Amino acid sequence: MRNVLKKVACCLFLVLLIILPKVSSAGEPVIGKNYDYKNIDEIKEWISEARYNIIKDYQKWGVVNLIPQEAHKVPHHPGYDEATKKYSGNVKIVAEGGALEGWVAGCPFPDPLKGTDDPWEIGMRLLWNFEHRDDGDTSRQWYEGGPCDRRGVSGRVVVNEYKKWYVGRYARDPKPAIPKKDNPDNRYWANAAFVVEPFEMRNTNMLTIRYEDPYKDDDMWLYIPALRRIRRFSSAQRMDCGAATPDWTWDDYNFFQGKLANYKAKYIGRRWLLEGLVQSIEGKKPTDRIMNRATDHWFTDVKVEKVHTYEWEFYPKESVWPKHIYSKCVCRSDPDHWRIIDRDTYDAKGRLWKVGYYYFLTNPEPGQEGLLWACGEQVDVQRMHSSNGNAWATYDPHHRCRINNLDLPLSYFEASGLRKYGY
């Protein structure tokens, strides 16, 4: 009898061993399970409040779902890690204005919490880490997307975009900066965006130049084929939206492309969240959309993974923007690549206005390891309007642009090149 009791106790113990972890992990996301409005409460604490409300309100937004997957560990470009190791020790934030001092290349603050508990200092460090993320030295983006209103997708935008960094280089020679003789006006980066669609802006080529001086405004030239003329534009109103992507302001591109000296940031804390960091490209052709859009405004079947995010918020400085359209933006960034992957934007009256997510692919090219931007969605939750897009970052599926490699000549990023390399 005693033996029988012992055996039963052992069995019970074994059963408990198997069951207990399941019980203790109640509320843990289950890999491969489909979560939508019916069962999203099971993982409520793993997603942001805004995302929860959107999934829950399926009558307004359609059925939006998340599918947890194993977390990815995506390596940096080796040069980025090397530069971080070499240069990050000397970097500091200038108290007045929040500019960066001593940065050469790589991540400026690999441990943003080190040596301070000032949330404003940490916030700026996270913002600078995002600014100097692992994006390569020359990037290319073939963006396809379009605005969507209450009646559905209302247009299409296709932009072929190149960006070249003049300083902070770690992947291609010359490193860490293009020599002064080839960069006499002290550029930080230059971005040439060639519009393929919509028709109204077709073949327009826009050149934006950002300078090393964080207080100096950008320069902007536009070649407008209909006018047959290159026009200079003021880049001062960074909070304006383009007609083709009316939910993204100039400073919203890439989830934040503002001049850091115009903003201040505050650290909130670390938070485990399910974020759609890495998406799958398997079984897709270059011309396919990377992610599904069963609903009009939101991507569906989003593969999410546990990310120990940094949660922080940034604000437009009142001294620069006495009346900005945003009061604050709450961001969650991933701790390895410092990318903003989840952002809630509040209007001037402090009401939630736009909710956005960014998704990535792993770069398959040897020696070019890293994350490639794959898709982004930014939805105006007040007016039910969105501007979402897919991007194929590695190559141009239609060969529409005249330059098809990443070794772009510097002349591509000159005002006179706008006409030459456009149409």
Partner 1 sequence: MKRLFIVSSFLCAFSLCVYTTAFGGFSLFDGRLEISGWVENFSAFRLEDGYHSLHRGHEEGDYSLCRNTFQLETQFRLSDVVTVVSIYRGWYDAAYDIDDDLRKLIPSKERDKYRHDSDIRELYVDIATDNLFLRFGKQQIVWGESDGFRMADIINALDFSWYYFFPAWEDIRIPNWSADIIWNLPGEFFRRYQSSLEFVLIPNCFDRGFESTNLAPEGAMWNPMFPQMMLDMLDAKRRDMKSTQYAEYGIRFHSIVKGWDFHIFDFYTIEDNPVMDMKRMMAGRNPFRFERVNKVGGSFNRYIEPLKGVLRFECVGTLDEPLNTLDHMSIKNRDSYAYMVGFDRPTYIPWLNPETSFFISGQVFQKYYTHWDRDLATGDTSSDEYQTLITFLINTGYRKWTWMPQIFAMYDFSGEGWVNPQIEYAHKGLHWRVKLGAHLMFASGSGQSYFSAFKDNNNVYLSVKYQF
Report the DSSP pairing between strands 371-380 and 385-392. Answer: antiparallel
Choose between 31 and 227: whose C-beta lies nearer to partner 1: 227
The residues, any chain, with a CB within 8 Å of residue 21's CB and separated by 6 or more, are none
306 half-sphere exposure, CB direction, 13 A CA radius? 10
CA 410 distance to own-chain centroid:
26
Does residue 90 bind partner 1 (CB under 8 A)? no
Binding mask 359-398 for partner 1 (x = CB under 8 A): ------------------------x-x------------x
Q: CB 204 → partner 1: shortest distance, Å?
A: 12
**Of residues 110-149, which lie at the interface with partner 1 (CB under 8 A)?**
146-147, 149
Does residue 85 bind partner 1 (CB under 8 A)? no
Taking the C-alpha atoms of residue 145 and residue 373, their distance in angstroms, rounded to an integer, is 14
Does residue 240 bind partner 1 (CB under 8 A)? yes
Contact assessment for residue 407 and residue 110, using Cβ atoms and an 8 Å cutoff: no
What secondary structure letter does DSSP report for 254?
Answer: G
Backbone φ, ψ for residue 205 (5° rounding): -125, 120
Tokens of 369: 């390891």
**Exposure letters 218-233 (e unless 16+ CB within 10 A, then b):** bbbbbbbeeeeebeee
Looking up tokens 């620069």, which residue turns up?
Answer: 320
**Binding segment toward partner 1, per CB under 8 A, in 19-27, 37-45, 71-79, 195-203:** 195-203
Q: CB 144 → partner 1: shortest distance, Å?
A: 10
Number of residues binding to partner 1, judged by CB under 8 A: 61
Among 75, 78, 110, 198, binds partner 1 (CB under 8 A): 198
Choose between 2 and 399: whose C-beta lies nearer to partner 1: 399
Q: Which of 244, 232, 223, 227 is nearest to 421 (CA)?
A: 223
Q: CB 153 → partner 1: shortest distance, Å?
A: 8
Among 73, 114, 285, 323, binds partner 1 (CB under 8 A): 323
Does residue 202 bind partner 1 (CB under 8 A)? yes
Among 237, 284, 308, 364, binds partner 1 (CB under 8 A): 237
Among 56, 72, 86, 156, binds partner 1 (CB under 8 A): 156
Choose between 19 and 226: whose C-beta lies nearer to partner 1: 226
Taking the C-alpha atoms of residue 317 and residue 359, their distance in angstroms, rounded to an integer, is 28
Does residue 181 bind partner 1 (CB under 8 A)? yes
Contact assessment for residue 124 and residue 113, using Cβ atoms and an 8 Å cutoff: no
Choose between 89 and 184: whose C-beta lies nearer to partner 1: 184
In DSSP terms, which residues pair with 326 in a beta bridge? 347
**Binding segment toward partner 1, per CB under 8 A, in 231-239, 268-276, 290-298, 332-340:** 231-239
Q: Is the peptide bond before 198 cis (omega within 30 degrees of 0)?
A: yes
Q: CB 73 → partner 1: shortest distance, Å?
A: 37
Binding mask 203-222 for partner 1 (x = CB under 8 A): -------------xx-xxx-
Choose between 132 and 354: whose C-beta lies nearer to partner 1: 354
Contact assessment for residue 122 and residue 335, using Cβ atoms and an 8 Å cutoff: no
Contact assessment for residue 257 and residue 250, using Cβ atoms and an 8 Å cutoff: yes
**Of residues 247-286, which lie at the interface with partner 1 (CB under 8 A)?**
247
CA 184 distance to own-chain centroid:
30
Looking up tokens 């501007």, which residue turns up?
Answer: 387
Q: Per this entry, what is the length of the chain?
A: 423
Q: CB 411 → partner 1: shortest distance, Å?
A: 7
The residues, any chain, with a CB within 8 Å of residue 224's CB and separated by 6 or more, are 204, 230, 231
Does residue 409 bind partner 1 (CB under 8 A)? yes
Which DSSP helix (H) or strand (E) runs through 97?
none
Q: Which of 66, 25, 75, 71 is nearest to 306 (CA)?
A: 71
Q: CB 190 → partner 1: shortest distance, Å?
A: 12
What secondary structure letter does DSSP report for 331?
Answer: E
Choose between 76 and 238: whose C-beta lies nearer to partner 1: 238
Among 185, 269, 294, 308, binds partner 1 (CB under 8 A): 185
Among 52, 120, 233, 315, binds partner 1 (CB under 8 A): 233
Taking the C-alpha atoms of residue 157 and residue 337, their distance in angstroms, rounded to an integer, is 28
Binding site for partner 1 (CB under 8 A): 146-147, 149, 153-156, 158, 181-182, 184-185, 196-200, 202, 216-217, 219-221, 226-229, 232-237, 239-244, 246-247, 323, 325, 348, 383, 385, 398-400, 402-404, 409, 411, 414-416, 419-421, 423
